[in-house]
Structure formats: C-alpha cells, structure tokens
Structure 1
Amino acid sequence: MFIARAAFAFQFGSVGAVAPQLSQNLGASLADIGILIGFYFAPGVLLALPGGTIGRRYGDKATVLAGLLAMLAGELLMDASTSWSVQIIGRLIAGTGGILLSVLMTKMVADWFTGREIATAMAFFVNSWPVGIAISLMLLPWIAAMSGLHAVNLAVAGWILIGLGLMAFVYRAPEAALPVEGERGSLSSETVYAVIAAGSIWCLYNIGFAMIFSFGPSMLVERGWSMAAAGSTISIVLWLAALSVPLGGFLADLTKRGEAIIVAGCIGFALLTVLLSRSGPVLPVVIAVGTVCGLPAGAIMSLPARVLEPKTRAIGMGIFYTAFYAGSPVGTAIGGKLATSIGSASAALDFGAVVLLVCPAILWLFLRMVAGQNRSALPST
C-alpha cells in the first residue's frame, strides 16, 4: 500500500516538479500551473463520499486497482498532447483514480490497525506522500532536462504500473475487514460534523504542505537557481518529512498527546514556512521545515478513527475525504493566483503559512464535538 500510494504522490507532484519547463511548453502562468495542480484533487468533491460505498460494493482491493488504472490512463492522455484542455482532462481522469485509491487505502489501513498503534500506522502510511513527492522533485526535473516532458510522463506511468502489480498480486485484506452480509451502519450528526472538522484540518495542513513542494522550486528559480537544483533542494523537506511523519505518529501513540503534537507542529511549520519565503540562507531553513512539518500528520489522520466504528468507517472516510478534496483544489489555485498577482512564488508559501495557523482552531472545535458525543453516549441516571 505504501508503494502504491507513493505512486499517487509521485503523479500529483509531477506538475510542480517540472513547473518551469511545463510553463514554457504550454505557455502557462503560475496561476495556470496552480489550477493544473489543484485539478488533480477536484474529482474528490464528488467522488470521495461515494468512494467508500463503491469500495463496499465491489471490494476495497478491486476499487483500488480500478483507481490505479484510471491514474495510468490519465497520465498517458497527458502525454499524448500538449493541448491545455487535454492536460486538464488527463489530470481529472488521473485524479479520479487517485481519489478512489486514497479513500479506500486509508480505510484499509484503519481495518488493519484500529485498536492498536493507529497513529503510528497512519503515519507510516501517509509517509508515502512526502516520499513520492520528494522523489518526483529530485528525479523528474533531471529527466525533463535530459529527455523532455515525454520521459517525465513515462516515468510516472511506470511507477503506477509497479503499484498496480503490487496491489494485484501481493496485498491481502485482514480477515476482520471482510464484509459482513447485511452489515449496515449510520452516522449521527455529531459524528458527521466531527469527521468534517477532521477532514478540514487534513485539508488545510496539506495545502500548507503543497505550497512548499508546488511553488518552492519556482521561488528558487526566481532567485536564479537552476530547475534541477531548486527541485533537489526543496525535496530535502520531503525526505526529512519521511522521518518526521512516523516520528510524530510514534510520539502521539507513546505520549497520548496527539492534540498537542498537532498544535505545536502546525504552528512551527507555519512560522518556518514564512521564514523560508524570506530567508537568504535557504538550506538551514529547508532542513528545519522538513524536521517539523511531518510531525502532525499521523495524529491528524488518526482523528476519524476516534469517532468512527467499523460499520461506519467506509462512509465516514468518504465524508473525511470529501471535506479534504473540497478545499484542496481551491487552496492550490489561490496560492497560484497570489503568486501571479504579487509577482513572486513566495506569496504562495505565505498563504500556506496562514492556512496552517487555522488548523489548531478547527482542532479545538473537533475536540468539543467529540466531548459532546461522549456525553450523549453516557447512560442516563
């Protein structure tokens, strides 16, 4: 699952990794690039909620395989033409597959680890995201410089094929996750609101994260860096996040203070992002960002499991990802628009810092909802 989901991240990050060359070939502005990045998540607004139901009907594994095939089809379509409309359509098709994969795989991890080290397991799972994007930032600019954008698309398609093979022939579901005939579950309004709040936190956290790897390379190119050097330097954030994400999940499980880790991590991440957009010595700040940025991820992803039962997990994760995908395309588009309007990609990073600071406030609302749900579940005396 880690390798297959890393293909999802690799494909998502491919546009930001080669944004300068893509802008030249397509005649696109930073605002256009932001839209193209965001369109990958756009299908999630409509598909995330029924995605859980689709998985329930056809099976988690079969739905994930269909998602990987859609990702492959979208990438090959983008490779077939430099037309802007074809790029958009290909990105939407690929994103549709990515949404199915993301919703169902998160539920599959919860099936394996709920009641055990859930924050640690989720942290290792979501770690596939920074790893996939880090590899795209290091590898794809070099491929683009050596062989062009056609080779970039083929590299992305190749990783998707590897994920497809692993999920088809290696993955197995836990016996407890096998569907029970006639099993149904319903969500209370309090649970729905709590899951939406958790999805909103995940959305804003990822928008802040996306501003780094989507517009960070362009910011350094504006300062005179080469595209390959800029991508490699920003990828350090993702490589260090590959360490800080599981560390944050482990600390959340060990200390039982996941909320504190979310608050401290988001605030620290925001402050360092602002510093990165203004700092002269880039490398020390990049290292600091990577060390801090991954800490909240596992604790955030464990929030839905606190309010969802096994019978409601599929539909609950659909709601979680609906909130996530509803905001993500808007966030990346706003970041690109701000960068174009102000004339610098650093504006997108500043925007990312602002949305990160909203996460602790929404977490406070989530905790109040959970407390209210727990009180309502107590027997009356």
Structure 2
Amino acid sequence: MLHNRWIILALLFLVRAGMGVQFQLVPSLAPLFIESFALTVAEIGLLIGIYQAPGIFLALPGGTVARRFGDKRVVLAGLALMTVGGLVMVAARNGEILLAGRLIGGAGGILMNVVMTKMVTDWFAGREMNTAMAIYVNSWPCGIALALVVLPGLAEYAGLVAGVLAVVVYCAVALAGMALLYAPPPAVPTSGAAATGWPDARVIVALLLAGSVWGLYNAGLAVVFSFGSLMLAERGYSMIAAGAVTSIVLWVAALSVVLGGVIADKSGRPGGVIALSLAGFALAMLLASRSDAVTVIFALMGLVGGLGAGPVMSLAAQVLTPATRAVGMGIFFTFYYAIMMCAPWLAGTLAEIFGSARVAFDAGAAALLLAFPFWGVFHMMQKALRARQVV
C-alpha cells in the first residue's frame, strides 16, 4: 500500500487517465465507427456525449454511496463497469449495442471520477490544492491524447476491434493497480454537519454554479478532441495525421494545466488564471478552424486553455467542508455531466446542419464565453459564504 500523498496522486492520475482513453475511443476512431456501423456525424456526437449521460443520475448517488461503502470500493466498482462496457463494445454488431457499451462504461467512469476527486481533496486539503488538482485533472487530457496517438494507428493496422480491446486492457490493469496499491488518507476530521453530509442550501447553489463553469470549460475542450479530427479531415488530413495534430492541444495542456495550478497557488490569484484561460481558449478555438497555421493554433489552444483547469476544478473544494465533500462533489459533478452529455451532441448536430465541423468549434468557443457569468456569480457567492462563515 502507498502512503505518500504525491505517490497516491500519481496512482490516481494513471487510473483516471483510463477514463480519458475510454471516452476518446469513439472520437479517435470516428471514421471507422461511421464506416463499420453506418453512423452519421450527429450519431457520432450522440455516441460521444452519451458516455457522460449516467453522470446526471449517478454523480450524486455516487457520493452518498461512497460515504457508506468507502471510497476505494466504489472506485473499484466503477473500474469494473468500465471494463465490462468496453467488452460490450467489442461484441457490438449494431449501433444500439455500441450505445449500451458506452453507457455501461460511462456509468463506471462517473462513479470513479466523482469519488477519486474527493480522494484528492482529502489528501491535499489545506495544502497544495490548486497544484494537486491541476495534476489530477491533467489525467483526463493525457488519457485523451494517448488515445489520439495510439488508437488510430493500432486500428488501421489491426482493425477497429483491436482498438476497442486496447482500452479494455487499460481499464483492467487500472482496476488491478487500484486494488493492490491504494491506501486511504489519515482520518479527516468532521463536524456536526456530518450527520447527513448535505451542504447548506447556499453552498448547494454555489456548487451548481461551479459545476456549470467546469462543464462549460470542458465542453470547449470536448469539442476539440471530439471534432478536431473531423474538422481537419475536411481540410484533407488523413485520420492518423488529424489525430496527431489534435493531440497537440492535449500534450501542450499536460504542461500548462500544471503551470496554471502552480501560478494560482503562488500568486494567490486563481481568478485571474481562470479569466485568461477561458478568454484565450475561446479565441484560439475561433482561429483554429479559420487559420492555415493549424499546428501553431492548436498548440496555443493547449497552452492557454490548460491554465484554468486546476483553479476551476478547485472551485467546489473552496465551498465544502470535510463533512460535506462526498455529497458536495456529487452535486458539483451532476451539473458538469449534464452539460458534457449535451455538448458533443449539440455540436455534432450543428455541424451536420451547417455541413462543416468548423461550426462545432464555434459552438465550443461560445460555451467557454458562457462560463464567465456563472463564474462571476459563484465568486460573489463564495465571498458571501466566507463572510457568514458557512464554509
């Protein structure tokens, strides 16, 4: 068992990366899924977004179940569902079974993600929270980038089933690693509010606002890795080349996400980092589908866009106490998953209506700009809650 918080964070990083790999399976191999299952672009968008759909129903129960059965058991159950969902996709012969596999895998990913975020909060509360959360959330883009680089080449060489099986293997190895290596943090002190674990009503509103900011931020990112390859294919790129260029966003973000967390911790101004990230990311998305300097723009997108991930993900922790973290993170992720379920489908539908994946990028930029008012109201509520000593 591991007991150093940074080694624990590394383990959680590698395990959660499997969720990014599994999510990205369909976008990375979209042309092969379209060819093999006769799917439309809008149906690909649905297949991408449906992975997040169980979060609307499982994020909150996942937090309460973790309070009863323990964090580690719930994470292991989530990883088991991810493995089973992948196996269902291996056996799929039509779009309906593919959809079922995505739902099962997504349900597992939601359970794992909600509880593992609480694990990070428990290990780093009162310490390097922005930095730790930035590293942790980095696992998602790193998993996606890994899928973009590895899966297209593997599928072209050995077929679509081989690509799906590779994801199943990753999930199974993550399950074994978590079972053998994870140890809980030292006991976290609780207050009298622990009887129910439910936050104050004003805190719940703040969590819904924070979840909306996190959802809209990720909606922009999701558009990049969901439709980047299709947008580049429209411009003459091969599937492998399009995947490689799209992955640049995520490899650069792997560095800038950590940088943003460190800057937020050292400067004490996470709000400035969030504002710069949202505005710069939106501008880069608008330029990406219109500029010939594709590689440069995609790198810029990752550099600026990644800065805000840690501070945005830390918003929920700023209004939660140890007693309310399990349920509170469930509330936070419920709104996040509602947005993430709809975003790829909406972007795909708009792209099909207007006949170009470029429109999906414009929708992603709009989502990033829409996050500003939600974040502004959250910031005001957070100050009011602190003044009243609710958090």
Partner of 2:145: 134
Q: Quick one: distance in 2 between partners of 1:236 and 1:371?
A: 37
Match among 281, 285, 303 for residue 293 of structure 2: 281
Partner of 2:253: 241
Q: Quick one: distance in 2 between partners of 1:51 and 1:126?
A: 19
Can you list the C-alpha shifts for 1:259-299, whole angstroms capped at 9, x where unaligned?
Answer: 11101100000000000011112111111111111100000
Q: 1:253 aligned to 2:265?
A: yes
Contact 1:263 1:359 in 2 (8 A): no
SS of the counterpart of 2:53?
coil
Contact 2:194 2:324 in 1 (8 A): no
Can you list the C-alpha shifts for 1:13-43, whole angstroms capped at 9, x where unaligned?
Answer: 1110011111111111110000000000000
Q: Quick one: distance in 1 between partners of 2:389 and 2:354?
A: 51
Unaligned runs of 5+ in 1: none
| Alignment CA distance shift 1:177-1:163 (3 Å) | farther
Q: Quick one: distance in 2 between partners of 1:121 and 1:355?
A: 26
SS of the counterpart of 2:388?
helix
Q: Quick one: distance in 1 between partners of 2:292 and 2:131?
A: 36
Contact 2:193 2:323 in 1 (8 A): no
Contact 2:276 2:304 in 1 (8 A): no
Match among 14, 35, 40 for residue 24 of structure 1: 35
TM-score, length-normalised on structure 1?
A: 0.97
| Alignment CA distance shift 1:254-1:180 (3 Å) | closer
Q: 1:58-137 counterparts in 2 under 5 A?
A: 58-137=69-148
Q: Aligned residues, how many?
A: 378
Q: 1:140-159 counterparts in 2 under 5 A?
A: 140-159=151-170
Contact 1:111 1:176 in 2 (8 A): no
Q: 1:249-328 counterparts in 2 under 5 A?
A: 249-328=261-340
Query: 1:182, CA displacement in angstroms?
Result: 10
Deviates more, 1:34-43 or 1:168-177: 168-177
Deviates more, 1:157-166 or 1:123-132: 157-166
SS of the counterpart of 1:176?
coil
Identical-pair percentage: 47
Partner of 1:194: 206
Partner of 1:347: 359
Q: 1:38 aligned to 2:25?
A: no
Q: Kindly provide the amino acid, as one letter, of the partner of residue 86 in structure 2.
A: E
Q: Kindly provide the amino acid, as one letter, of the partner of residue 277 in structure 2.
A: G
Q: Kindly provide the amino acid, as one letter, of the partner of residue 124 in structure 2.
A: F
Q: Quick one: distance in 1 between partners of 2:66 and 2:308?
A: 28
Can you list the C-alpha shifts for 1:61-117, whole angstroms capped at 9, x where unaligned?
Answer: 010000000000001001102311101111000000000000000000000001001
Can you list the C-alpha shifts for 1:220-277, whole angstroms capped at 9, x where unaligned?
Answer: 1111111001001110111001000010001010101101110110000000000001
Partner of 1:55: 66
Contact 2:190 2:322 in 1 (8 A): no
SS of the counterpart of 1:20?
helix
SS of the counterpart of 1:246?
helix
| Alignment CA distance shift 1:375-1:170 (3 Å) | same
Q: Quick one: distance in 1 between partners of 2:389 and 2:161?
A: 57
Query: 1:177, CA displacement in angstroms?
Result: 4.2
SS of the counterpart of 1:377?
coil
Contact 2:227 2:357 in 1 (8 A): yes
Q: Kindly provide the amino acid, as one letter, of the partner of residue 208 in structure 1.
A: G
Q: 1:196-211 counterparts in 2 under 5 A?
A: 196-211=208-223
Q: Quick one: distance in 2 between partners of 1:32 and 1:283?
A: 28
Q: Quick one: distance in 1 between partners of 2:86 and 2:189?
A: 32
Query: 1:377, CA displacement in angstroms?
Result: 3.0
Query: 1:188, CA displacement in angstroms?
Result: 1.2
Q: Quick one: distance in 1 between partners of 2:217 and 2:224?
A: 12
Q: Give the ranges of 4+ consecutive aligned residues of structure 1 lying more than 3 Å apart after TM superposition.
A: 177-183
Partner of 2:172: 161
